[in-house]
Amino acid sequence: MSRLRIFANDAPDAPLLSSRDGDEIARELARIGVTFERWQASAPVEPGASQEEVLAAYRADVDRLVAEHGFNTVDVISIAPDHPDRHELRRKFLDEHYHKEDEVRFFVAGSGLFTLHVDGKVYEVECVQGGLISVPDGTTHWFDMGPQPSFVAIRFFKEPDGWVGHFTGSDIAQRFPRYGEA
């Protein structure tokens, strides 16, 4: 089950709220313009499934999201704990940044930690299997896949070639919990 924790941005040791209730997570994130949904597969997705098989299992929701938002590209990314570039991949988005398009990810398997920094608060979202998160363009955030990353995710893009992180230079991410570390 996914989990949301909300902190004041100067109090990383004292969450104001912690919830694994999907409806509550969606409600709290909607206040800051972030979409959170839980999707069910229409067919089992086996380990090693092809991109086509993964997309087919979630076709109705994928098509709905594409129609609603006008995404031009949908792909499937898969990272295993023994990925040779896992440390480099993890480091890439560990610091606070934003994008000039929405960051939309659906977790087919595994998990990852999105942390958003909005209006003096920090929203830490552990996204697990079955969870969709859409971070609006311009929203400052960071993403941690953990030291032993394990996830399969569907990504939605309008301009994949323009997918770059604009880093704020803030060190706030270093003061909040890292994923998979005590």
Q: From the CB of 153, what's the least distance to Fe ion, in Å? A: 13
Q: From the CB of 134, what's the least distance to Fe ion, in Å? A: 12
Among 10, 3, 5, which Cα is nearest to 175's? Answer: 10
Chain position whose Cβ is nearest to Fe ion:
103
Cβ proximity to Fe ion, 41 vs 172, nearer residue: 172
b or e along 33-70 (b: 16 or more beta carbons within 10 Å of the residue's beta carbon)?
ebbbbbbeeeeebeeebeeeebbebbeebbeebeeeee
Cβ proximity to Fe ion, 103 vs 144, nearer residue: 103
Q: From the CB of 6, what's the least distance to Fe ion, in Å? A: 19
Binding site for Fe ion (CB under 5 A): 93, 103
Cβ proximity to Fe ion, 7 vs 93, nearer residue: 93
Query: According to DSSP H, which parts of the chain are helical?
Result: 22-30, 51-57, 59-69, 86-92
In whole angstroms, what is the distance from residue 74 CA to residue 178 CA? 28
Q: From the CB of 14, what's the least distance to Fe ion, in Å? A: 26
Cβ proximity to Fe ion, 103 vs 126, nearer residue: 103
